[in-house]
Structure 1
Amino acid sequence: MNETIKRETPNHFSLPRRINRLGQLAYNLWWVWNPEGQQLFRQIRPRLWDELEHNPVAFLKKVERSYLNAAANDTYYLDMYDRVMKKFDDYLNGEDTWFKQQYPHLLNQQIAYFSFEFGLHESLPVYAGGLGILAGDHLKEASDLGLPLVGVGFIYNQGYFTQVITEDGWQETHTKHLVLEDAPIALLKDDEGNPITISVELPGRNVFARIWEVRVGRVSLFLLDSNLPVNSDADRQLTARLYSNDLEVRISQEILLGMGGVRALRRLGYQPQVWHMNEGHSAFLAVERALELVRKGKTFAEAAAEVRKTNVFTTHTPVPAGNDQFPLWLVDKYFSQIWPELGLTRDQFVDLGRQATPWGESFCMPVLALKLSEHANAVSELHGQVSRRMWHFLWPERAVEDVPIRHITNGVHTGTWLARRLRLLFDRYLGADWMKRIDDPQLWSQVENIPDGELWAVRQHLKRKLILYINDRARQRWQSGQYHPAQALASGVFLEPYSLTIGFARRFATYKRGGLILRDYDRLMRLVTNPDMPVQIIFAGKAHPADEPGKLLIQQVYRAVKDSRMGGRLVFLEDYDMNMARYLVQGVDVWLNNPRRPNEASGTSGMKAALNGVLNLSVMDGWWREGFNGLNGWAIGEDADPVDPNQQDEMDARSLYEQLEKDIIPLYYTNRSVDNIPTAWIARIKEAIRTLAPQFSTRRMVKEYLSEMYLACMEETEQETA
């Protein structure tokens, strides 16, 4: 980075000298995936830690001095503090990272990773769902491996939205403002103490943005923020919230992210050799990079060829309508000054993103990314097949199977999603260094050595923890005085710790079929209310504010939840976020996933569940098609191309009920040992962890990105500079 950039950790706190480095730890999200780091804050005042959504910056600002003094005089706490801070220092200063050991000659290279959202932790709500969570996990794994990677995105001071479910089940959306000064982020300033800014040209004006930094272990994430007095009121809102439906706002955001993101990295002194676009939102970075080269004297053809060699594009959307595209009049308005400078005609520029649609031609962001990227991938094997068919029109001279879009299946960051109790269990039975060998299948064969009783005790603990969390939420809502009694009951107060519990938590888009299990209502009721083998189902998830069918689906589920005949064994948890997700993927017994195949590009929630010994019951779509082996969970329906949607729904619902009735429920409740341990169920848990934990980790995923995509870009640059 440039020497003129100040990267000071803010010091808002007046901490006792003995524990004053808590302030430094608060501003590095390393604590997110190191439970002992979180314990340093929690131990001081647990209730306040939970009330402030586990935000260490807000916590250290608000906690009373008496609690800090007590911690500073507690021998046990100080021993833990010293141990954690040493581990933190060793991590940041470690010279033995995997990347350094494997590629010491590439340590001077840089990888830039662009994403519209980053899901790192609930205290930094700048994510909407799976795309952002994946991006956050990517950064954490890059840090663990020692990759020279930086992230670029937006800081949304109004985030996505807060969900409230009314008494009749309708989703209402509320705005929750993020107080940036209370978040674990730091504003970058120059030598004179002024915020570092960049600007982009929009029709009739320049829009300026300042840059915030989030430290994610060894990795930096830079977030752009247009909320500056120099901008108009409308432009100040460009980085206010995620996924606007206003196309002018959306194209302005994507210009700011793509073109402005490149300028931010240049301003900070970065010269990346790899430019990774996580989905098409940031594809204008390719236009900005081409502009840089044209301004240095190259033709557009030469510039595009050079840019293409070092661009990486990951597509996540298996449905054409789900990709960002803009009407051509909007492209005319926002880029009429750009194409002449590139030496292109209007049609030549539009050709970079042109796609035919039923309503006419549009400018499609993934098309732009694909045309200007040498390296492109889908996020599961089946999604790769779908993507090659979907984008075949860009390579009409090739056979579909030869379309240059490979697949790298998603993974999840083990440290973030693994329950602390299970981590301790793995420490005992997998070996002290198991976290360094997460992607080694041989390591995970040792799961068989864990005594059934110990593993079952941890699983039961995690379910009790989930139910206590749900009960506490319901109590808080009831005490607010704003909830009807039926809403309190729908929030899970009747949940039992020893009944088979199924989790369904995800975005409520219609293709995910959140109501599939309701299709035969009477049959479901018999399953749920069986006094000998009862079933509990926990639903959670948000619909996009503009998705009326998605909101109707939530209402359908919620009305079933409120049905007194279900006995309170159906539950809907409102305002799904990363904190709730951790409780669910760790605490339920079965993870249900039933999208309409092949619309689930990958999915990652089931991977998180499997890591924690939760068994998947899923359609053969996305990642589960690769993960299921017949013994590590259950499949809904067939591994076959879809039929008529209504017929497919009927067939999949029938398969879902049969799996529950004939296999899953009896397996959970019968074949118990004298100690009341379901031995056959435990055998499936061990098989799920053994087979799925290494294959669907970000350790494997990021290494694949490096070997299959990043290295080619880096070596291309090495050859040019040799």
Structure 2
Amino acid sequence: MELQLYNVAPRIPDELKFLETLSNNIWWCWHPQAIELFVRINPNLWRDVSGSVKEFLRMVPQARLEELARDSGYIRQLRAVQAEFERVIPKQDDVSKRMVAYFSLEFGIHESIRIFSGGLGVLAGDHLKAASDLKLPLIAVGLLYRQGYFRQVLDRNGWQTEHYPVSEIHNLPVVRGCDPSGKPVTISIRLVDRDLYAAVWVLWVGNVPLLLLDTELPQNPPDLREVTWRLYGGDKRMRLHQELLLGIGGFKALVAMGYSPAVCHMNEGHAGFLSLARISHLVNDVGYEPDVALETVWRSNVFTTHTPVPAGNEVFDINLVRPYLEVFANEAHLNVDRVIRWGIPINERDHASEMSMTVFGLRLANYSNGVSRLHGEVAREMWKHLWPQRSVSEIPIGHITNGVHIASWVSTRLWGLYERYLTPKWANNPDKAVLAAGIRSLPDEELWMAHELCRQSLVRRARRLMQNNFRYLTDDASAASFAKKKNVLDPDILTVGFARRFATYKRGTLLLRNPERLIALLKDKTRPVQFIFAGKAHPADDGGKRLIQELIQFAQRENVQDRLLFLENYDIGMARSLVQGVDVWLNTPRRPQEASGTSGMKAAVNGVINCSILDGWWAEAYNGENGWAIEGNDYYTEDEDRDNYESQELFNLLENEIIPCFYERAGGDLPVRWIKRMKESIVTGLGDFSSTRMVEDYDRMFYRPATKAYEELTADNAAYARELVARKERYVRNFDGGKLYIEQPKVDGSLENMHVGDRFRVSTRVYLGELKPEEVDVEAYYGTVNAHNEIISSVSEKMHVLENFGNGNYRYGCEVTCKVSGRFGLTGRIKASGKEWDNSVPGFMCWPK
């Protein structure tokens, strides 16, 4: 029997019509007064639907809505929220002004929208919220997963199983994306011998439209409908289909809706294929030659890498990817072998079997970055083979340290406190000195009371969850056991939180390496400690699942379930409760495998104190006053030895510093020393690690320069881009052809007994082939060296022509000044002139042989 399906919802009274408007923009989720509008309607229902606004409004009884329409206090609050919403949200989107397109395979915006898995997605969501607050001309592109990431269910033995509930489209705050004429947009991409179709939906994140592609369409056969079912689900071919849809289909969707971005930002390698779509668009729709289009695209792309773990960088078997890329290469009038080589390091091209999406992204982006200072260093070392003729210090991968969206993560209790005592713009990257002074002057009593209320809220939530997920806590499900377990945790004792993806390198069970010391802490009568764990392991990661099981079984075996808990189905809502309610945020990765670690930032802005390995963000945030550092030992080469050592260091910190500091009450009922550290933690979080600061950094360092570059490249029918292509051809013939030559520089006089302030002259002979002196920079290259006589901190001094011997032969020279003391190395090089080619892979450079 064929049915016609339809929905019937309560009729929203005219006085409350703004609630429908608000339900179509996720802006409400980071505005406390807007959230309160929904909570006031029915607090229990709001909690039950996890903030799914459209579902919530459909379930509210008509009588309750009519009652609220007559409630003058509620109407007054609604009008205040409406006025703020209308002040900051434009009524119409001007597509011509959206100059930056941000592509990500996942977006963590709110727990009710399950299109994310973890930190990468939550970072992307915070990026969009900050861009909205700053009113940046940004548009985002992702996939609309009908099942999303899995729901975690732990069986009686503590083993993770995965379930995939379907998200009903009518319960999501999305509307169909339309072209400039108002017609709904459906795009298609060619997958070898058939087409994949996708509808385009728009989810508004404040001022930022997020385009989401959806393959659940009758035009697609069943296997292609599954492309947007699950995040990180299926095999390699499914993953390839998803990434082709995101990059190529996503850019097609932008064009179909009338957007013409000057800059495309790839959040990880998943979106790398968008470069092919950009090139194809410029070739077929604008009329550029392929090389001109390529020059324009790579010089206006941004690429952010998030993982220092080799296994976390996406690769595809060349035999798998080649048939797909043949189609898109042909569309762009490019040779498919050339396209595949963009994803292979030069030294591997003769024998490579895989194409790396990270290499592809770096190759096709003029602006690249890691996500913390340390991660930038690791990324430069990790990918230096892409630029084999450069020192590590010159590898063109910078860093923009991640930040968190303050309004999304600060508790309502602390929000009110900050509003009363701090500078008016405290949440939007204000002057740090003014901010710090305000934070340090917060009344200790009020700060501690607000935090204790957050801890109590966390305990209530944990107890509720444990009652719902009782099955794995005990061997029998008797009423007596159930009653006993509903009182787990103590709202008044030191609470340590550990919540993140359960991957083996994050070492979620580091505490279990010293079980006797752990049990002593858990059962201490005078200074007790409790631990709350949460997190999901990837469905294919049995190692991560075993870590979860070990924690649960340890708590069962030692009968400490009331003091050591694992909370099931970690999501954004649970993360908010944890980073607001625990006292200590624990992070124990193997350095340097944590790229950033934004959960610690979320804890810091709530006055929670970090205890962490000096990895990711904590390596640049820790100052000795704002938390604790778990000291590592770089002499250990085996993971087992290192884990044992760092476990001992963690327990030493807990026993000797953290626990005594928390329970010290020299100031009466207040832990004065602890509160001082809380304030320093808040100064660090609000002062340096907001997503406002992060997005302002992207705008200043990447978006605005790339937008300007795109305008210059495309002006006058791409005259500048054409000029660059012609120059590049000359560089390739001469640099790659091995025609250039430079001698080791000669020094006038002796380099012995040099002192700071001394100067010496150097000169060298070069052969430039068909290149002219103005096309190259000949440089004296020098810097401090390590024990292997490798330059580790380089300086270059431009040389000038001293003699022209004819036929491309010259003598160059310059003066070098000794500015600092140390041991130095000196050589010379020829490079392409200026900075226009500094970020190209592999670039153009010639050294003495």
TM bin (shorter chain): over 0.9
Match of 1:317 among 273, 298, 307: 307
Which of structures 1 and 2 has the larger relative contact order (alpha carbons within 8 angstroms, sep 6+)?
A: 1
Q: Greater CA deviation, 627-636 or 314-323?
A: 314-323
1:204-603 alignment runs, 5 A limit: 204-295=193-284, 296-355=286-345, 356=348, 360-438=352-430, 440-478=432-470, 484-485=476-477, 493-566=487-560, 568-603=562-597
C-alpha distance 385-88 of structure 1, shift in aligned 2 (>3 A): same
Q: Greater CA deviation, 546-555 or 556-565?
A: 556-565
Greater helix percent: which structure?
A: 1
Amino acid corresponding to residue 83 of structure 1 in structure 2: A
Q: Assess if the C-alpha contact under 8 Å between 1:11 and 1:23 holds in 2.
A: no
SS in structure 2 opposite 1:88?
helix
How much is the aligned-residue C-alpha RMSD, in angstroms?
A: 2.6
The aligned counterpart of 1:186 is 175
SS in structure 2 opposite 1:147?
coil
Q: TM-score, normalised by structure 2?
A: 0.79
C-alpha distance 93-242 of structure 1, shift in aligned 2 (>3 A): closer
2:134 and 2:636 mapped to 1: Cα distance? 40
Amino acid corresponding to residue 680 of structure 2 in structure 1: E
SS in structure 2 opposite 1:157?
coil
1:704 and 1:475 mapped to 2: Cα distance? 45
Shift of 1:549: 0.7
The aligned counterpart of 1:103 is none
Q: Assess if the C-alpha contact under 8 Å between 1:28 and 1:216 holds in 2.
A: yes
2:392 and 2:509 mapped to 1: Cα distance? 35
SS in structure 1 opposite 2:501?
coil
SS in structure 2 opposite 1:209?
strand
The aligned counterpart of 1:620 is 614
Shift of 1:75: 2.0
SS in structure 2 opposite 1:43?
helix
SS in structure 2 opposite 1:536?
strand
Q: Assess if the C-alpha contact under 8 Å between 1:510 and 1:550 holds in 2.
A: yes
CA offsets 1:219-273 (integer angstroms, 9 cap, x no match)? 1101000110000100001000101241111111111100000100000100001
Q: Greater CA deviation, 80-89 or 484-493?
A: 484-493
Shift of 1:287: 1.0
Question: Percent same amino acid among aligned pairs?
Answer: 43
CA offsets 1:343-366 (integer angstroms, 9 cap, x no match)? 444432221112559995211111
Amino acid corresponding to residue 167 of structure 2 in structure 1: L
Match of 2:188 among 199, 202, 210: 199
Shift of 1:325: 0.6
1:259 and 1:564 mapped to 2: Cα distance? 54
Amino acid corresponding to residue 423 of structure 1 in structure 2: W
Structure 2: gaps spanning 5 or more residues: 1-6, 717-849
Amino acid corresponding to residue 521 of structure 1 in structure 2: P
The aligned counterpart of 2:766 is none
The aligned counterpart of 1:100 is none
Structure 2 residue 680 is matched with structure 1 residue 687:
yes
Q: Greater CA deviation, 422-431 or 276-285?
A: 422-431
Structure 2 residue 63 is matched with structure 1 residue 48:
no
Amino acid corresponding to residue 201 of structure 2 in structure 1: W
1:318 and 1:490 mapped to 2: Cα distance? 44
The aligned counterpart of 2:116 is 127
Amino acid corresponding to residue 439 of structure 2 in structure 1: V
Structure 2 residue 660 is matched with structure 1 residue 669:
no
C-alpha distance 348-357 of structure 1, shift in aligned 2 (>3 A): closer
Q: Assess if the C-alpha contact under 8 Å between 2:248 and 2:274 holds in 1.
A: yes
1:556 and 1:489 mapped to 2: Cα distance? 25
1:496 and 1:86 mapped to 2: Cα distance? 42
SS in structure 1 opposite 2:227?
coil
1:11 and 1:212 mapped to 2: Cα distance? 22
Amino acid corresponding to residue 530 of structure 1 in structure 2: D
1:133 and 1:685 mapped to 2: Cα distance? 24
SS in structure 1 opposite 2:190?
strand
Amino acid corresponding to residue 44 of structure 1 in structure 2: I
Q: Assess if the C-alpha contact under 8 Å between 1:199 and 1:206 holds in 2.
A: yes
The aligned counterpart of 2:29 is 32
C-alpha distance 184-599 of structure 1, shift in aligned 2 (>3 A): same
Shift of 1:702: 0.4
C-alpha distance 358-549 of structure 1, shift in aligned 2 (>3 A): farther
The aligned counterpart of 1:703 is 696
Amino acid corresponding to residue 372 of structure 1 in structure 2: L
The aligned counterpart of 1:83 is 80
2:433 and 2:270 mapped to 1: Cα distance? 35
SS in structure 1 opposite 2:615?
coil
Q: Greater CA deviation, 660-669 or 330-339?
A: 330-339
Q: Assess if the C-alpha contact under 8 Å between 1:591 and 1:617 holds in 2.
A: yes
Shift of 1:671: 3.4
Shift of 1:637: 1.5
The aligned counterpart of 1:161 is 150
Structure 1: gaps spanning 5 or more residues: 1-9, 96-105
SS in structure 2 opposite 1:337?
helix
C-alpha distance 454-165 of structure 1, shift in aligned 2 (>3 A): same
Q: Greater CA deviation, 345-354 or 167-176?
A: 345-354
Q: Assess if the C-alpha contact under 8 Å between 2:537 and 2:545 holds in 1.
A: yes
C-alpha distance 72-482 of structure 1, shift in aligned 2 (>3 A): farther
SS in structure 2 opposite 1:566?
coil
Q: TM-score, normalised by structure 1?
A: 0.93
Q: Greater CA deviation, 352-361 or 450-459?
A: 352-361
SS in structure 2 opposite 1:243?
coil
1:336 and 1:290 mapped to 2: Cα distance? 14
CA offsets 1:386-412 (integer angstroms, 9 cap, x no match)? 111111111101111111000000000
CA offsets 1:518-555 (integer angstroms, 9 cap, x no match)? 11111111111110001100000000011111111111
Amino acid corresponding to residue 410 of structure 1 in structure 2: N
Shift of 1:475: 2.8
C-alpha distance 536-376 of structure 1, shift in aligned 2 (>3 A): same
Q: Assess if the C-alpha contact under 8 Å between 2:188 and 2:195 holds in 1.
A: yes
The aligned counterpart of 1:716 is 709
Q: Greater CA deviation, 42-51 or 435-444?
A: 435-444
Amino acid corresponding to residue 55 of structure 2 in structure 1: A
